[in-house]
Amino acid sequence: MDNKHVAVIGGGLGALSGAIRLARLGFSVQLFEKNEKIGGKVNEVALGGYRFDTGASLLTMPSVIDELFDFAGFNRSDYLDLVPIDPICRYFFSDSSVMDASADKAKMKNAIAQLSTDDVEAYERFLKYAERIHDVTAEIFMFTPIHEFKKLIKPRHFQTLFRLHQIDPFRTVHQSVSRFFSDPRLVQLFDRYATYNGSDPFQAPATLNIIPYIEYGLGGYYIKGGIYRLIDALETVACELGVQIHTSTRVEEICHDGKRVSGVQVNGEKVETDYVLCGADAVVAHDELIDGYQHRSEKLNRLEPSLSGMVFLWGVRAKHQKLAHHNIIFSSDYDAEFKQIFKNQRVPDDPTIYIAITNKTDTGHAPADGENWFVLLNMPYLVPGQMWKKEKVRMRSVVLNKLKRVGFDIMDRIEVEQIYTPEDFSELYASNQGSIYGVSSNSRTTAFKRLPNRSRVLERLYFAGGSVHPGGGIPLVILSGKMAAMLIAEDHASKL
């Protein structure tokens, strides 16, 4: 044995990213995915003549994808066509006003002026403020494994560490957004970005205001053919580099001697390996895959899970010119919506509705006279007493009635349908209590400090994915795989 064997658990973006890097570095890599195909929450479904992405629907920070392909020795443009989205999103407010948000600053300022002339200059100030947070935090919080003390104290990080007071950690997202904008509709629009992290804008620290800068300052993109084309491309790259991918293969246990991992158990048999890269949710992994560390498992389970969701995939036999590729129909009381979700842990009475219609950009994703609607509602994570079978029937009616009130009556136009609840997210993706984004950032101490990429209890066990540093979303999950692979490579080099 050459001591360079790695078992990768899961086929999500973090696991794939790490597997590709390790294979490129000369490791022998086997990847085990419990579902029939890889991709994790980035998935696709075909229903009749309609095609749907079922996970992430907007791509930011495309340079992260480009760097992964470059590192692997491939050219991203040979595999993926990235399309800028404009407008990035169309917003429908409870007073019937509508606004198109754009990464084009002139268009965005003009759109804001249609709502509130007093807030045009406020947007300039807000974007500069968000950019400052990005400039201070990006190197450490997005591109460095912050739990590794030796990496954190490098000289180039000293200036950043001395500027951490500038990242606005002591106010909430809502408090800081409200300081800039006077119009409550704009406050609601920019509050929304905390949900990209699975968090509550009324609790999460204002440091998360980095997110709108990434979208408006750096741009939002779509992958031609659907976001799942990214998984197809990475699978091709992984196989070219020699990664052995096993689908419909569940890892049952991470084997160890109490100090160091020695393999994984698959189908009742042990697969020996030198390192394990776990792309499964880190909390669930400690609950279900790692024996002997009850204290660590209990500690992780005290962390608050992120938002979950309810998803409706609807093939709609109708065309709606008033809808864009991405759309948000806001609730009338955002604060009440999040209190119901996080404080009461129940389904909100008036949910904000997100609708992605990819055939606005990819016409082949629906029949010529139809549209493929991916509809997402923010939902609480799983707790005892919830009744999701009843809730999905009730919420279907709530959503369709709300859509009718704002001018989109599709009740008799739905040809195909599939519904997912938090229970489905838990079952399909082994996510912690059905959460979509891992751990929430609803406190100052948890923002930008997800679980570590290196195990705290076992040597040679590493983690990637949205539940660990640096967080959820396509670019950050890919970076988590990069960090885990880098730590494995450094660990191996130190043993030579």
- pTM of structure: 0.94
- Residue 96: strand, helix, or coil: coil
- Ordered by start, the domain boundaries in the chain are 5-41+227-301+446-495, 86-219, 307-429
Between the alpha carbon of residue 213 and those of residues 28, 70, 102, 307, 463, the distances in Å are 39, 25, 12, 22, 28
| Domain 5-41+227-301+446-495 CATH superfamily | FAD/NAD(P)-binding domain (3.50.50.60)
1 has a pLDDT exceeding 50: no
The amino acid occupying position 298 is: E
Who contacts 410 (Cβ-Cβ below 8 Å, separation ≥6)? 314, 316, 318, 373, 400, 403
pLDDT class for 135, splitting at 50, 70, 90? Answer: confident
What is d(CA 35, CA 10) in angstroms, rounded to the nearest whole number? 9
Per-residue pLDDT, averaged over 166-175, amounts to 88
Q: What are phi and psi of 362, to 5 degrees?
A: -110, 95
What is d(CA 483, CA 233) in angstroms, rounded to the nearest whole number? 21
What is d(CA 439, CA 470) in angstroms, rounded to the nearest whole number? 11
CA 20 to chain centre: 20
Q: The tokens of 100 are what?
A: 């198109």
Instruction: State the pLDDT at residue 164.
Output: 61
Instruction: State the pLDDT at residue 495.
Output: 77
What is d(CA 25, CA 485) in angstroms, rounded to the nearest whole number? 9
Lowest-pLDDT range, 58-67, 78-87, 136-145, 358-367? 136-145
pLDDT class for 137, splitting at 50, 70, 90? Answer: confident
CA 57 to chain centre: 10
Sign, CA torsion 301/307/312/313: negative
Between the alpha carbon of residue 154 and those of residues 23, 151, 468, the distances in Å are 28, 6, 22
Helix (H) or strand (E) holding 111: helix 105-115
What is d(CA 15, CA 464) in angstroms, rounded to the nearest whole number? 6
Q: What is the pLDDT of residues 298-353, one digit of tens each?
A: 999 999 999 999 999 999 999 999 999 999 999 999 999 999 999 999 999 999 99
β-bridge partners, 278? 9, 463
What is d(CA 202, CA 69) in angstroms, rounded to the nearest whole number? 38
Classify strands 5-9 and 28-32 as parallel, antiparallel or unpaired.
Answer: parallel
Looking at per-residue pLDDT, the higher value among 160 and 234 belongs to 234
What are the E-state strand segments in 342-492? 353-356, 371-379, 414-420, 461-463
Helix (H) or strand (E) holding 47: strand 44-47
Instruction: State the pLDDT at residue 154.
Output: 59
Per-residue pLDDT, averaged over 400-409, amounts to 98
Q: What is the pLDDT of residues 174-214, one digit of tens each?
A: 999 999 999 999 999 999 999 999 999 999 999 999 999 99
CA 344 to chain centre: 24
CA nearest neighbour of 31 among 13, 56, 44, 54: 13
What is d(CA 92, CA 409) in angstroms, rounded to the nearest whole number? 15
Share of the chain above pLDDT 90, in %: 87
pLDDT class for 138, splitting at 50, 70, 90? Answer: confident
Q: Running DSSP on this structure, what letter comes out for residue 68?
A: H
Pick left, alpha or beta for residue 154 (phi over 0 → left; psi -120 to 50 → alpha; otherwise beta): beta
Per-residue pLDDT, averaged over 368-388, amounts to 97
Q: The tokens of 479 are what?
A: 């970076």
Q: What are phi and psi of 253, to 5 degrees?
A: -165, 145
CB 318 within 8 A of CB 411: no
Between the alpha carbon of residue 248 and those of residues 31, 38, 290, the distances in Å are 11, 9, 21
Q: What is the pLDDT of residues 83-130, one digit of tens each?
A: 999 999 999 999 999 999 999 999 999 999 999 999 999 999 999 999
Instruction: State the pLDDT at residue 149.
Output: 55
Instruction: State the pLDDT at residue 8.
Output: 98
Q: What is the pLDDT of residues 370-379, one digit of tens each?
A: 999 999 999 9
17 has a pLDDT exceeding 50: yes
Strand order of the β-sheet with 275-278 is 244-246, 28-32, 5-9, 275-278, 461-463
Q: What is the pLDDT of residues 219-266, one digit of tens each?
A: 999 999 999 999 999 999 999 999 999 999 999 999 999 999 999 999
What is d(CA 219, CA 124) in angstroms, rounded to the nearest whole number? 16
